[in-house]
């Protein structure tokens, strides 16, 4: 194609070529159109500078406003501090260093020194909480008082637990100590420290019922003149002769038999009952109950009751502890397998073999109604006792005393429950025994 070809056409540019033609026509002017005139560029620069200056003035003003000094009172003394200062910044600027509190257990023991809050702050009379301390910014004229940090109590949770009964020992010491109240399990809420594991008692849901002991010297309510003579450590070869003497004098007594002495002497156990006297337990092997472990103690007591029952001596839960030795822990250790412990008021001291006259006077001098006398039908030579026994019976009968069994004596004293007096009281089915001694 050539120029000539177009030259033959009418001098009208076809529509699809017009723009191209126009562009081509404007091309020589393009650079001139994009470059602003010199004056315009200077105006824009000035505007930018002006903006920067304004920004600097405003920013500086804000900075100065924020960093201006305000007057406050700190622990009673005037102080100039930066506006918007936090409490920590004010403390540091004023050289105040409170002692931090501790992290403490629910029981009040220190778990971590300095583990509590760093300080306390009271502003215009109001002590701030943690959020208030964090949010505080000085505005001027505040009256600020800093104090030592507060203790913080460990995290804890609440648990509902069973409370086992404890044993409340008797408040006095008498010849008979018995269970006056059996135990019942209680329920109570406890606060348990998550760190320490300590527990603090809270709301009582069901009150616990403790085991209670009572100890008295029995005396007949009606002033009747009775004494109870008791024999320990049998049955033995002397027992039947004692029974004969008692029968001859119309007297009854109580025999505290050793379980280990019963085999082969079952007839004597039955003879005691047949004579009208009473059989109780002196334990199986005469161990000191305060010196043995709980399992041994329970079998020492339980085995003898079983041996007496099997021999025909009847159902008894009454005990004379060897050596008269029994304490609150031994009661706890028993699991409640006996109901009463009986000691004595007048001691024959027959085991010292002091002579017939001494035994008689030891058993009769100063006797009173309800007194319990201690002698032995086993454990050694009892010839002095055999000779002394009729004299003791005659002496006291001469003073108007009647010789009765312990059950008979106890049933005359209305302070002693009927089943304890009967000698075979047991813990009721809906009750439980104490697991420890009450403090």
Residues that bind Zn ion (CB under 5 A): 232-233, 322
Report the nearest approach of Zn ion to the CB of residue 315 (Å). Answer: 22
Report the nearest approach of Zn ion to the CB of residue 348 (Å). Answer: 12
- CA angle (11, 16, 22) in 5-degree steps: 70
- Distance from C-alpha of 68 to C-alpha of 10, rounded to nearest angstrom: 84
Question: Residue 376's beta-bridge partner residues?
Answer: 232
- As given in the structure block, the two tokens for residue 435 are 């697991």
Measured from the CB atom, the residue of 184 and 265 that comes closer to Zn ion is 265
Measured from the CB atom, the residue of 356 and 374 that comes closer to Zn ion is 374
233 near 385, Cβ under 8 Å? no
Contacts of 394 (CB under 8 A, 6+ apart): 249
Secondary structure E strands in 29-148: 69-74, 77-82, 103-104, 110-112, 119-123, 126-127, 143-148
- Distance from C-alpha of 335 to C-alpha of 427, rounded to nearest angstrom: 10
Measured from the CB atom, the residue of 154 and 232 that comes closer to Zn ion is 232
Establish whether 376 is a catalytic residue. Answer: yes
Establish whether 233 is a catalytic residue. Answer: no
Measured from the CB atom, the residue of 233 and 385 that comes closer to Zn ion is 233
283 near 289, Cβ under 8 Å? yes
Report the nearest approach of Zn ion to the CB of residue 236 (Å). Answer: 12
From the candidates 233, 282, 286, 376, give the one annotated as an active-site residue.
376
Report the nearest approach of Zn ion to the CB of residue 192 (Å). Answer: 48
Q: Which residue has the tokens 């001694």?
A: 437
- As given in the structure block, the two tokens for residue 127 are 């002590």
Report the nearest approach of Zn ion to the CB of residue 354 (Å). Answer: 17
Distance of CA 312 to the CA centre of its chain: 45
Other beta carbons less than 10 A from residue 171's beta carbon = 9
Report the nearest approach of Zn ion to the CB of residue 286 (Å). Answer: 6
DSSP letter string, 390-436: HHHHHHHHHTT-EE--HHHHHHT-TTS-HHHHHT-----TT-B--SE
- Give the CB-nearest residue to Zn ion: 232
Measured from the CB atom, the residue of 87 and 289 that comes closer to Zn ion is 289
Measured from the CB atom, the residue of 312 and 324 that comes closer to Zn ion is 324
356 near 381, Cβ under 8 Å? no
From the candidates 232, 233, 350, 377, give the one annotated as an active-site residue.
232
Report the nearest approach of Zn ion to the CB of residue 322 (Å). Answer: 5
Measured from the CB atom, the residue of 214 and 233 that comes closer to Zn ion is 233
Q: Are strands 254-257 and 226-232 parallel, antiparallel or unpaired?
A: parallel
What is the Cβ-side half-sphere exposure of residue 121, based on CA atoms within 13 angstroms?
26
Cα-based distances in Å from 296 to 66, 204, 328, 415: 83, 36, 16, 32
Residues tagged active-site? 232, 376
């Amino acid at each position: 194609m050539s120029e000539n070809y177009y030259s033959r056409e009418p001098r009208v540019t076809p529509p699809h070529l017009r723009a191209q033609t126009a562009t081509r026509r404007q091309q020589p002017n393009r650079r001139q159109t994009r470059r602003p005139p010199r004056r315009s560029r200077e105006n824009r620069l000035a505007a930018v500078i002006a903006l920067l200056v304004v920004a600097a003035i405003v920013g500086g003003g804000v900075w100065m406003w924020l960093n201006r000094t305000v007057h406050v009172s700190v622990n009673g003394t005037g102080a100039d501090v930066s506006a918007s200062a936090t409490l920590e910044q004010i403390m540091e600027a004023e050289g105040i260093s409170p002692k931090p509190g501790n992290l403490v257990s629910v029981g009040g023991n220190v778990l971590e020194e300095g583990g509590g809050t760093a300080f306390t702050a009271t502003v215009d009379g109001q002590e701030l909480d943690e959020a208030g301390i964090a949010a505080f910014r000085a505005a001027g004229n505040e009256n600020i008082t800093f104090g030592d940090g507060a203790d913080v109590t460990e995290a804890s949770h609440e648990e509902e637990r069973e409370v086992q009964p404890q044993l409340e020992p008797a408040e006095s010491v008498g010849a008979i100590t018995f269970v006056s109240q059996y135990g019942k399990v209680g329920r109570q809420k406890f606060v348990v420290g998550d760190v320490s594991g300590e527990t603090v008692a809270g709301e009582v849901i069901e009150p616990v019922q403790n085991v209670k002991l009572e100890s008295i010297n029995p005396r007949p309510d009606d002033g009747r003149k009775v004494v109870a003579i008791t024999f320990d450590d049998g049955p033995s070869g002397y027992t039947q002769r004692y029974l004969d003497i008692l029968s001859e004098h119309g007297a009854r007594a109580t025999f505290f038999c050793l379980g280990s002495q019963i085999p082969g002497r079952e007839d004597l156990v039955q003879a005691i009952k047949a004579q009208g006297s009473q059989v109780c337990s002196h334990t199986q092997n005469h161990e000191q109950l305060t010196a043995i472990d709980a399992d041994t103690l329970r079998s020492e007591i339980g085995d003898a009751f079983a041996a007496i029952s099997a021999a025909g001596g009847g159902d008894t839960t009454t005990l004379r502890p060897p050596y008269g030795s029994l304490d609150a822990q031994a009661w706890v250790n028993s699991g409640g397998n006996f109901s009463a412990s009986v000691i004595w008021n007048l001691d024959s001291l027959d085991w010292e073999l002091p002579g017939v006259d001494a035994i008689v006077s030891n058993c009769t001098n100063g006797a009173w109604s309800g007194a319990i006398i201690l002698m032995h039908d086993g454990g050694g030579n009892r010839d002095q006792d055999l000779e002394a026994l009729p004299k003791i019976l005659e002496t006291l009968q001469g003073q108007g005393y009647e010789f009765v069994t312990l059950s008979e004596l106890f049933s005359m004293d209305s302070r002693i429950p009927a089943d304890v007096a009967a000698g075979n009281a047991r813990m009721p089915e809906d009750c439980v025994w104490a697991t420890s001694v009450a403090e």
